[in-house]
């Protein structure tokens, strides 16, 4: 019985410690890329478009999603905030296989809720939308 209580206490302590680690972003280190600063632990997500241009996404120190892209000559734009409050890496995937120009970026927030933003064929972005799972549209 004492062993079971000890195991439960260790599990509870680990759960509290993991919540505290998520809630203290001050320990996060910052990286720079193309004149912008972002949170290193979330990395850089790249998405290649059909004309060989690409778009990059990072989580800024303000926890917003930031993006920049190349033109057809390979020159990079400046960074632009897309808003949001990310607590994870930004992911990108093709949600409409009929149109290779459309894709979704998504992240999880502090409460593990999934948020996504869709890009249309012309490069316009929908507002951030809460989804139940990454694959529903």
pLDDT digits (tens, 9 = 90+) for 24-37: 444 569 998 998 99
What DSSP letter does each residue of the chain carry, written as one string?
-HHHHHHHHHHHHHHHHHHHHHH-GGG--EEEETTEEEEGGG--EEEE-TTS-EEEEEEBTTS-EEEEEB-TTS-B---EEEE---SS--EEE-S-TT-TT-EEEEEE-TTS-EEEEEE-TTS-BPPPEEESSTT--
Checking if the pLDDT of 5 tops 80, the result is: no
84 occurs within a structural domain? yes
pLDDT (tens digit per residue) in 84-117: 999 999 999 998 889 999 999 999 999 999 999 9
| Domains in the chain, number | 1
Please state which of the ranges 6-10, 63-67, 75-79, 98-102 shows the lowest mean pLDDT: 6-10
The parent domain of residue 89 ranges over 29-131
Q: Is residue 19 a part of any domain in this protein?
A: no
This prediction has a pTM of 0.76
Q: Does 3 fall in a domain?
A: no
Is residue 11 situated within a structural domain? no
pLDDT band at 132 (very low <50, low <70, confident <90, very high): confident
More confident site: 38 or 10:
38
């Amino acid at each position: 019985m004492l062993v079971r209580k000890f195991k439960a206490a260790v599990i509870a302590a680990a759960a509290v410690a993991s919540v505290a680690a998520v809630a203290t972003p001050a320990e996060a280190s910052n990286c720079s890329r193309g004149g912008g600063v972002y949170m290193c632990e979330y990395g850089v997500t790249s998405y290649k478009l059909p004309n060989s241009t690409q778009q990059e996404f990072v989580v800024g120190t303000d926890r917003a999603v930031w993006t920049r892209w190349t033109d057809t000559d390979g020159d990079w734009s400046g960074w632009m905030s897309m808003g949001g409050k990310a607590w994870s890496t930004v992911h990108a995937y093709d949600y409409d296989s009929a149109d290779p120009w459309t894709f979704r970026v998504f992240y999880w927030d502090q409460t593990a809720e999934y948020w996504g933003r869709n890009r249309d064929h012309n490069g316009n972005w929908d507002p951030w939308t809460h989804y139940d799972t990454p694959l529903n549209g």
